[in-house]
Amino acid sequence: MRAQPPDNAVETESLVKVYRGRRGPPKTALDNIDLRIPRGSFFGLLGPNGAGKSTFINILAGLALKTSGTVKVWGRDIDQDQRGARAAIGVVPQELNLDPFFTPHELLEVQAGMYGVPAGERRTARILEAVGLADKANAYARTLSGGMRRRLLVAKAMVHSPPVLVLDEPTAGVDIALRQQLWEYVKGLNARGTTILLTTHYLEEAEQLCDRVAIIDRGKVVACDTTGALLRRLDSKTLTVTVDRDLDELPAALAAFAPEMRPERRLVFAFKPSVSPVGRILAAVQEAGLTVVDLSTEETDLEDIFLQLTRAARDSG
C-alpha cells in the first residue's frame, strides 16, 4: 500500500542557523523560521541579498547543517531520515556548476546513478527532450550557451523524479526567450504535481508564477500568504485624472484628497480604497466643476509589498 503524501512538501519549525567564525561575533542567518510549503504549490521565497534564502535552501538539500529546529522534506525529517529527505528534493543552484568535459547525456546518467536510479528506469532522453536539449545530448557541456547550461541544471535536478524542485535564482542572466521556455517546462511540472520552491530577484516572475509567497529579511519571515492576499494587504492605489482645463490652484472641493497637480492638466490622487473609493474622488472632481477627459489607476504590485515589509522589518529592528 502506497504511503499517503504529506499535506506539506516542506515544513520547518523554529529553524535556526548560526555561523560561528574564529573572528567576530556569531552571525544568525536564520532566526526561528516557521514555514509550511503546501504539497503541489508554486511557492516563492523572496528577500534581499543576505536575507537567508540560500542558507534555507542549503539546509533543505543537506548542504548545510542547521543549528537547531526541525526540518521535514516530503514528511521526512532531515535528521532521522536523511537519505529519504534528500531523495525527495531536487535543487537547481544559482551557480552553473557543470563538469565541462561531460556531455548532457553523461551528466544525467551519472546523476541518476548517484541517486540509485536503476538503469532501466532512467529517463535521460525524455528529460533532455523536455528541456530542449535532445539535439545537444552528446555535445560537451563546455560548448553549451549559458541558457542551455541553466536548462541542463534543471534536467540534472529531475533525474530522480523528486516531488519537490527548488529553483534558486534560475533565470539570472538568461534572456527573455529562454526564460519563457524554462517557465513553460517548470509550470508543466507543477501542473503534474511537482511542488516548486522558487527564489528570484525578478518580483514580476514571482507575482505571475507563484500561488504562495514568503518574504524573508535578516533571517526572519516577515510575511507568508497567498500571492493574492499579499497584494490585497497594501490598501493603496494611485488615480491619475486628466481634466478639461488648466488649474492655477487646487479647487476647494478636492482639498481633502490632496492630489498632486502635474503638467498637462493631470491630478494624481494617492488614496486608500477602503477609506476613499474612486467614486467619491470622481464626485469631488465633478463638484469642482471639472470634466474628466481621461483617467487611469495603478495597482499595488508585489514589489511595493516587498519594499514596504522589508523596510518595516528593518525599522522595527
Tell me the sheet residues that pair with 19: 27
Q: Can you give the pLDDT at residue 131? A: 84
- Write down which residue in 213, 232, 251 finishes a domain: 232
Classify residue 306: in a domain, yes or no: no
pLDDT per residue as tens digits for the range 176-189: 777 787 888 889 99
The pLDDT mean for the chain works out to 88
Same domain? 225 vs 172: yes
pLDDT per residue as tens digits for the range 134-171: 999 999 988 988 878 888 898 999 999 999 999 988 87
Same domain? 15 vs 84: yes
Same domain? 213 vs 240: no
Higher per-residue pLDDT: 134 or 314? 134
pLDDT per residue as tens digits for the range 270-285: 887 767 788 899 999 9
Same domain? 225 vs 248: no
Q: Can you give the pLDDT at residue 31? A: 94
Q: Can you give the pLDDT at residue 261? A: 93
Q: Please give the residue range of the domain that contains residue 206.
A: 8-88+162-232
- Write down which residue in 232, 259, 282 finishes a domain: 232
Q: Can you give the pLDDT at residue 317? A: 57
Same domain? 207 vs 263: no
Same domain? 239 vs 225: no
Q: Is 244 exposed, middle or buried (0-12, 13-18, 19+ CB in 10 A)?
A: exposed
* Distance of alpha carbon 100 from alpha carbon 80, whole angstroms: 36
Same domain? 228 vs 243: no
3-state secondary structure of 248: coil
Q: Can you give the pLDDT at residue 1? A: 46
Q: Which of 171, 135, 164 has its CA nearest to residue 150? A: 171
For 55, residues 6+ apart whose C-beta sits below 8 A from its C-beta are: 17, 29, 30, 64
* Distance of alpha carbon 51 from alpha carbon 219, whole angstroms: 5
At what angle are helices 146-157 and 176-191 packed, to 10 degrees?
A: 10
Q: Judge contact between 48 and 217, C-beta under 8 A.
A: yes
Distance of CA 96 to the CA centre of its chain: 19
Same domain? 55 vs 176: yes
Q: Is 38 exposed, middle or buried (0-12, 13-18, 19+ CB in 10 A)?
A: middle
| Count of residues in the chain | 317
* Distance of alpha carbon 33 from alpha carbon 41, whole angstroms: 19
* Distance of alpha carbon 281 from alpha carbon 47, whole angstroms: 36
Look up the CATH number of the domain holding residue 76.
Answer: 3.40.50.300
Look up the CATH number of the domain holding residue 271.
Answer: 3.30.70.980
Classify residue 106: in a domain, yes or no: no
Same domain? 70 vs 174: yes
- Band of pLDDT at residue 212, cut at 50, 70 and 90: very high
- Write down which residue in 189, 211, 232 finishes a domain: 232
Q: Can you give the pLDDT at residue 299? A: 64
Same domain? 217 vs 194: yes
Domain count, the chain: 2
Higher per-residue pLDDT: 170 or 85? 85
3-state secondary structure of 225: strand
Same domain? 83 vs 170: yes
Question: Picking from 65-79, 103-117, 174-188, 301-315, which range would have the lowest pLDDT averaged per residue?
Answer: 301-315
Phi-psi region of 183 (alpha: psi -120 to 50; beta: other; left: phi over 0): alpha
Classify residue 215: in a domain, yes or no: yes
- Band of pLDDT at residue 75, cut at 50, 70 and 90: very high
Instruction: Output b/e per residue, 141-156; b: 16+ Cβ within 10 A.
Output: beebeebbbbbbbbbb
C-alpha cell read off for 189: 511540472
Quick one: what percent of the chain has pLDDT higher than 90? 55
Same domain? 177 vs 260: no
